[in-house]
Amino acid sequence: MRIIVARDYDEVSYKGANLIAAQIMLKPNSVMGFATGSTPEGTYQELIRRYEKGDISFKDVVSFNLDEYVGLEKDDPQSYHHYMMHNLHNFTDINKQNIYLPDGKAADLLKECKEYDSKIESYGGIDYQLLGIGTNGHIGFNEPAETISNDTMVISLAQSTIDANKRFFEKEEDVPRQALTMGVGTIFRARKVLMLVTGEGKAEILEKVLFGDITPQVPASLLRMHPDFTIIADEAAAALVKNRI
Ligand code: GLP
């Protein structure tokens, strides 16, 4: 595990984009796992800048997303499909056929989960997985639980996640109660994992991830066992750990 402490959100975004750009330069047909949330927005802006400068091309990149809300249409402004198109994909040369997210409107959600995993496997697995982290330690939408889920699945959102994500919706009742998410196993099988952690609101959970028990009750703590796991945290998020790393 590597931990990089950056000054602030902008520096996290800059450094995060450096690592992702390096991956795409080294392997132009990388299978990327992308994340949503406010944390990676700056990294996506940096990546678009590098694409516009001609440093990288997404022409042969394949993009899988971690998760999607159940019940939202792809063009719903709150859907993760919409987020990815508007924060990254619409601004690069990625082949639109190479963009995959679980379909939260699928008639048979379990079948959709199985097909999503098969699709990832058909590309030989994920080369590089980008992650944020929920304040309760969730990754994707893998909420704190007794057991670790292996494959993509349907989950019910924890109340703490509904509370954290309601800021994106008009009212709390609008937050979908279910989502499809890659399992921790799916995430763990990625060859490299990069987690971005920013803001003082994430300081406590980052301390648990780094120094607490490795437990499915703090899903991100499991990544300490991943062979190629990098965290980039800003000073605010690293406040409780920076003297110990
Ligand atoms: C959502 C996503 C996660 C993300 C988390 C944190 O719940 N499913 O993938 O990491 O939000 O979001 P933010 O970066 O806005 O704190």
Q: What is the pLDDT of residue 185?
A: 95
Structure tokens at 87: 């924060």
Determine the 3-state secondary structure of 64 from DSSP.
Answer: strand
Tell me, what amino acid is at 32? M
Smallest Cα–Cα separation from 228: which of 61, 40, 63, 23? Answer: 23
Residue ID of nearest Cα to ligand 1 atom 5? 134
Residue 136 annotated to the active site = yes
| Mean pLDDT (whole number) for 229-239 | 98
| H-helix or E-strand spanning residue 53 | helix 41-53
Q: What is the pLDDT of residue 150?
A: 92
The overall average pLDDT reported for the chain is 97
Smallest Cα–Cα separation from 41: which of 83, 8, 11? Answer: 83
| Mean pLDDT (whole number) for 198-215 | 98
Confidence of residue 216 (pLDDT cuts 50, 70, 90): very high
Cβ-proximal residues to 111 (8 Å cutoff; 6+ apart), any chain:
none
The yes-or-no verdict on residue 148 having pLDDT over 90 is no
Rounded to two decimals, what is the model's pTM? Answer: 0.97
Number of neighbouring beta carbons within 10 Å of residue 185: 15
CB of 39 closer than 6 A to ligand 1? yes
Task: Strands of 29-91 (E only): list them.
Answer: 31-34, 62-65, 67-69
- Return the best residue to mutate from 65, 138, 157 for the ligand 1 pocket (most ligand atoms within 8 A of CB): 138
Q: What is the pLDDT of residue 199?
A: 98
| H-helix or E-strand spanning residue 5 | strand 2-6
Confidence of residue 149 (pLDDT cuts 50, 70, 90): confident
DSSP annotation of 38 reads S
Catalytic residue chosen out of the listed positions 65, 138, 142, 165:
138
- Between CA 61 and CA 46 the distance in angstroms is 17
Q: What is the pLDDT of residue 95?
A: 98
Q: What is the pLDDT of residue 125?
A: 97
Q: What is the pLDDT of residue 222?
A: 97
pLDDT in tens, 97-135: 999 999 999 999 999 999 999 999 999 999 999 999 999
- Between CA 226 and CA 4 the distance in angstroms is 17
Determine the 3-state secondary structure of 224 from DSSP.
Answer: helix
Structure tokens at 88: 């990254």
Confidence of residue 245 (pLDDT cuts 50, 70, 90): confident
Cα dihedral angle (127, 237, 245, 185), rounded to 10 degrees?
-30
Asked whether the beta carbons of 37 and 168 are under 8 A apart, the reply is no
Residue 165 annotated to the active site = no
pLDDT in tens, 43-94: 999 999 999 999 999 999 999 999 999 999 999 999 999 999 999 999 999 9
